[in-house]
Amino acid sequence: MNNIYLALGSNIEPRDDYLSKALESLNTHRQITVLRKSSIYKTAPVGYTDQDDFLNMVIELDTSLLPLELLDVCQSIEKQLGRRRGVRFGPRTVDLDILIYNQENRETEQLTIPHPRMLERAFVLIPLSELASELTVATAHKMVSDYIEELPESDIKDVTLWTEKGSAEE
């Protein structure tokens, strides 16, 4: 079994529907099995901040696809769900990022594994820790929980558990 974690995010309504459709597309692919998924978190945008808040989550999956093949599937799903690549860190219907693929360290023009900015992002580390807090990230040989402890408190506070539409929190 491969040990693969993907981050999913959306900040264009209906955000939760885009996440659900992306999950469904992954799970119906004949070479992919979604094993577990984190809770969904609401987070403020990073980088380009003049946009709506994101919904983010992390999933664990198994696949027979190689990393670049998985990237192609992820980008195809993004395109199918209306993703437009314009403003860097800008609004998106859905974003699928490969975080970890079997503890591989890989850097190509198309793909870097582990994801190059995952260790700086509370909106990735917090949902990932739900699934694998003791997972050691190959680049620095520290656990996910260790990286969370190193984040600024303000970053951690910006990541809140999201509940279904119509709730008091939303």
Q: Which residues have a Cβ under 8 Å from the Cβ of 140 and sit 6 or more positions away?
A: 119
Which pLDDT tens digit goes with each residue over 39-97?
A: 999 998 877 667 789 999 999 999 999 999 999 999 999 999 987 766 565 678 999 99
Residue 168: which H helix or E strand, with range?
none
**Percent of all residues in the chain with a pLDDT value above 70, rounded to a whole number:** 89
Structure tokens at 23: 């999950």
What are the extents of the domains in the chain? 4-116
Q: Which of 88, 119, 150, 104 is nearest to 7 (CA)?
A: 119
Which pLDDT tens digit goes with each residue over 122-137?
A: 999 999 999 998 888 8
CATH architecture label of 4-116: 2-Layer Sandwich (3.30)
Instruction: With 0.85 as the threshold, say if the pTM is over it.
Output: yes
Task: Tell me the pLDDT band of 106, cut-offs 50, 70 and 90.
Answer: confident
What amino acid occupies position 18? Y
165, 50 contact by CB (below 8 A):
no
Q: Which of 156, 121, 126 is nearest to 38 (CA)?
A: 126
**Residues labelled as active-site residues:** 83, 92, 95, 97
